[in-house]
């Protein structure tokens, strides 16, 4: 599922809050806040896409994410890998480590992460 920036921003708020009423969502936006009608439209779109659900309490809805942040992030990252790095993790790693001005400590941390993954797979 691909989400426009406005829907993705609303999902970020829901992922952080885990469940929220309209007031909670409005409070989560920085200034200048969008109109409540805009947020209501975004909620409707996300409901139609199956990305969120809600519980109804009288006339009030409490929204919650159905789409998991990890699943969405993984799919987005896969798209970037395919589009920009020919599905090559090594091309991505080379680009990332050479362009991001990583400190020696950050590079060592990345090495440790990779070493730990290799070690875990061998067990």
Predicted confidence (pLDDT) per residue in 7-40, tens digit = 999 999 999 999 999 999 999 999 999 999 999 9
**Separation between Cα atoms, residue 85 and residue 59, nearest integer Å:** 48
pLDDT > 90? residue 97: no
User: How far apart are the C-alpha atoms of 19 and 4, rounded to whole Å?
Assistant: 21
pTM, two decimals, is: 0.77
Cis peptide bond prior to 48, omega within 30° of 0? no
Measured CA to CA, the distance from residue 57 to residue 62 in angstroms comes to: 8
Residue 48 CB neighbour total at 10 angstroms? 9
Residue 93's pLDDT band (cuts 50, 70, 90): confident
**Angle at CA of residue 80, ends 72 and 52, nearest 5°:** 15
């Amino acid at each position: 599922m691909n989400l426009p920036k406005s829907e993705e921003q609303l999902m970020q708020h829901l992922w952080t809050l885990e469940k929220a009423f309209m007031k909670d969502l409005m409070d989560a936006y920085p200034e200048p806040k969008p109109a409540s009608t805009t947020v209501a439209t975004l909620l409707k779109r996300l409901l139609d896409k199956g990305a969120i659900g809600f519980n109804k309490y009288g006339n009030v809805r409490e929204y919650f994410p159905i789409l998991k942040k990890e699943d969405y992030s993984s799919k987005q990252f896969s798209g970037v890998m395919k589009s920009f790095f020919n599905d090559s993790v090594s091309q991505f790693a080379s680009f990332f480590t050479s362009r991001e001005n990583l400190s020696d400590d950050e590079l060592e941390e990345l090495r440790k992460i990779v070493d730990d993954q290799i070690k875990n797979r061998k067990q």
